[in-house]
Amino acid sequence: MVGDAYRIRPYRPHDRAEFLSLYETVWGYRKGRDWFEWRFQANPYRDGVQMIVAEADDEVVGVEPLLPFTLRVGDQRLAAYQPVDWLVHPDHRRQGLFTRMTERLLQYYADDAALLFNFPNDALLPGLETFDWRVVGDYPTSYRVQNPGPLLTDSVGPTTARTLDPVLSAASVAVTHGLCLLDRLNAPSTDDTVETHDSIPVETLERLYASAPPAAIHVPRDDAYLDWRFDNPNWETTAYVATDDGTPTASLVDATERRRGCTTTMILDVQPMTGDHPEAVERLLVRLLRDNRDADLVKAPGWFAPRLRRRYGFWHDSTIAASRIPSVSRIAVRPLPATDIDAWQVNGLSLTDRGNWRLALADLDID
């Protein structure tokens, strides 16, 4: 199909059903209307849906959506966009749609934000670099494998896995017993000062964040962000709050998601983000692990409490070869407009220095 057979335009409300259909075609699993409304329409930082669409014969065949965010650098706040879910239908690839949609996106949203930041995979990165994105650095994550069954099944295939079922069962039992022993040896004597909340205690988390905000570039934990980000209809979310004489000192937020036979618990947020109160954070982690023993995987950001991760059996993602565990993510950034060399520094911090960023799993393109 020749290039002028495609129409590149901003999103319109009637595109939602075709977006969800395209998402399922590309990724192989379905997302619902409630997820779309949460992810794109309920975002507190912009009205409407920010998305560029490629259309052919009145059918949506490509999309480039954006999630609006606020970033904080010291006392300065910046409007930002995170590109997410960039999709092209398999029948319409190699037609230049990525280039045309990205050109339109950069023109259409040039005056709406200070910068774009996202987490491109190996396939997407070369295309972004042609549009002046720069790599900031890796964003490693850590995994505690509590049940190796789903990972081993992915490695050998479901047919072989069925013949190895006794071996996989024995491996799962051995891992479970080993981690339970590790937890008993390391755990603090009590977690009586840990509170759990099925809904996000917004005021508490906001106060904990405000007590020690990081100096690095980060997403501030204001009430708008906290109300929206953890309201994903596909997550089961729990907040853990450590207290000292009734005063909150630290918190963790986790979400559990079940997909394709694998249950993953993600440590989405940690407060304070500066790593203060390590003893309180350990009590929170122990309680979280105890409550999620049935999860196959527990996932944490790579910067989270290195000493605790090692003690409680977390592994760096680069050491685990499994299709369910992506390769190490990277952060990429592009100021708007990127031609202004001063735009590559904000409040004295270089945008391309990995040490100048502090992002939690909640800030990544996780859906």
For the record, the structure tokens of 334 come out as 């592009």
* Of residues 278, 268, 335, the one with CA closest to residue 80: 335
Read off the pLDDT band of 231 (50, 70, 90): very high
Q: Rounded to two decimals, what is the model's pTM?
A: 0.87
User: Does 12 have pLDDT greater than 50?
Assistant: yes
Q: What is the pLDDT of residue 347?
A: 87
Per DSSP, the three-state class of 161 is: helix
User: Does 268 have pLDDT greater than 60?
Assistant: yes
Helices (H), 147-302: 149-156, 158-163, 165-186, 202-211, 223-229, 278-291
- Degrees to nearest 5, angle at CA 237 with 80 and 32: 70
Residue 121 CA to residue 118 CA, distance in Å, equals 10
Residue 55 CA to residue 61 CA, distance in Å, equals 6
97-106, 215-224, 283-292, 298-307: least confidently modelled range:
298-307
Q: What is the pLDDT of residue 141?
A: 87
Q: What is the pLDDT of residue 158?
A: 60
Torsion angle (degrees, nearest 10) of CA 196, 199, 201, 202: 150
Q: What is the pLDDT of residue 307?
A: 87
Type of residue found at 164:
L
- In the chain, the domains with their CATH numbers are 3-135+332-363 (3.40.630.30), 141-319 (3.40.630.30)
Residue 10 CA to residue 35 CA, distance in Å, equals 20
Q: What is the pLDDT of residue 305?
A: 83
Report the 10 Å Cβ neighbour count for 91: 10
User: Does 174 have pLDDT greater than 80?
Assistant: no
Read off the pLDDT band of 2 (50, 70, 90): very low
Mean pLDDT within 217-234: 94
Q: State which H helix or E strand residue 255 sits in.
A: strand 247-259
User: Does 200 have pLDDT greater than 60?
Assistant: yes
Q: What is the pLDDT of residue 170?
A: 62
Q: What is the pLDDT of residue 321?
A: 56
55-59, 85-89, 154-158, 246-250: least confidently modelled range:
154-158
For the record, the structure tokens of 142 come out as 């850590």
Q: What is the pLDDT of residue 41?
A: 94
Q: What is the pLDDT of residue 1?
A: 44
For the record, the structure tokens of 86 come out as 């960039």
Share of the chain above pLDDT 90, in %: 60
Residue 234 CA to residue 365 CA, distance in Å, equals 15
Report the 10 Å Cβ neighbour count for 358: 18
Q: What is the pLDDT of residue 28?
A: 87
Q: What is the pLDDT of residue 192?
A: 65
Q: What is the pLDDT of residue 362?
A: 93
Report the 10 Å Cβ neighbour count for 4: 6
User: Does 324 have pLDDT greater than 80?
Assistant: no
For the record, the structure tokens of 203 come out as 């005021």
Mean pLDDT within 52-74: 95
